Structure 1
Amino acid sequence: MNIALWIAAGLLAVVALTGGVSKAFVPKAKLAATPGGEWTGERSTGFVKTLGVLELLAAAGLVLPAALGIAPVLVPVTAACWVLLMVGAMITHLRHGEAKFVALNLTYLALAVFLAWGRFGTASA
């Protein structure tokens, strides 16, 4: 079970890192021109950059606390926050008629639920 939780955390951290880097460092106009990134054209640059920074923090929060043994409770807390982020992402993509991205966000949401459940539960040790 612990290995499965580490795999889920690692996968989500890669997703968060990738999304965070693109939102924090890629120009908004370029993001808006990519598939699935059209929504960024409707939001302020500050909002998109802030979301990117939050995703970068999530990438760290999904792995580092458990890996370093410092406040490991932050892993399931971060995973629970990721669930909320994915709900927002699914709503945004639904509004743009992007069903394939909704399905992808649902997969990430399921991984985050599994991670939060596993790390808050018996596998938290």
Structure 2
Amino acid sequence: MNIALWITAGVLAAVCLVGSSKMFVAREKLASVGASAQWVMEFSPGALKAIGAVELLAAAGLILPAVLDIAPVQVPLASTGLVVLFAGAVVMRLRRGERATITGDLVYLVLAAFVAWGRFGLVPFTG
């Protein structure tokens, strides 16, 4: 179970690192990627930078505290934050009528919930 939690946390961290590109790429360029990226036009550049910063912090919070053994309680807190972030993404997709593109957000939400559930004391980091 510990290995599954580490792999899941690693996948989520990679997804968040890629997603944090919102901090550095203009929203017009992000929107030109495809139909599933049109949502960025509904957010201000500042809001996109904030979302990107949250994703960057989540990527660090999923891996670094456990690896460095400094405040490992931050791992389930970071994954709980991702649950909230991806729940917001699901709501945004539903409001926009993008039911075809909601699958990825739901998968990431479930993965983040799995890490939060597993790391809130159910599975120690060393097992």
TM-score by length of 2: 0.92
Aligned residues: 124
Partner residue in 1 for 2:54? 54
Deviation at 1:33, TM superposition (A): 2.1
Deviation at 1:99, TM superposition (A): 2.0
| Aligned mates of 1:43, 1:34 — CA distance in 2 | 16
| Aligned mates of 1:43, 1:122 — CA distance in 2 | 38
Which residue identity lines up with residue 98 of structure 2 in the other structure?
Answer: E
> In the TM superposition, what whole-angstrom CA distance separates every residue of 1:64-116 from its partner, at most 9, and x where no partner exists?
10011000000000000100000100111122222233111111011111100
Which residue identity lines up with residue 32 of structure 2 in the other structure?
Answer: A
Which residue identity lines up with residue 51 of structure 1 in the other structure?
Answer: I
Partner residue in 1 for 2:119? 119
| Aligned mates of 2:87, 2:33 — CA distance in 1 | 21
Partner residue in 1 for 2:100? 100
Q: Which runs of 5+ in 1 are unaligned?
A: none
| Aligned mates of 1:62, 1:100 — CA distance in 2 | 28
Which residue identity lines up with residue 30 of structure 2 in the other structure?
Answer: L
| Aligned mates of 1:121, 1:100 — CA distance in 2 | 36
Q: Which runs of 5+ in 2 are unaligned?
A: none
Q: What is the root-mean-square deviation of aligned Cα atoms in Å? A: 1.1
Partner residue in 2 for 1:25? 24
- Tell me, yes or no, if the aligned pair for 1:80 and 1:116 is still in contact at 8 Å: yes
Deviates more, 1:99-108 or 1:72-81: 99-108
Deviates more, 1:2-11 or 1:27-36: 27-36
| Aligned mates of 1:51, 1:89 — CA distance in 2 | 11
| Aligned mates of 1:54, 1:30 — CA distance in 2 | 20
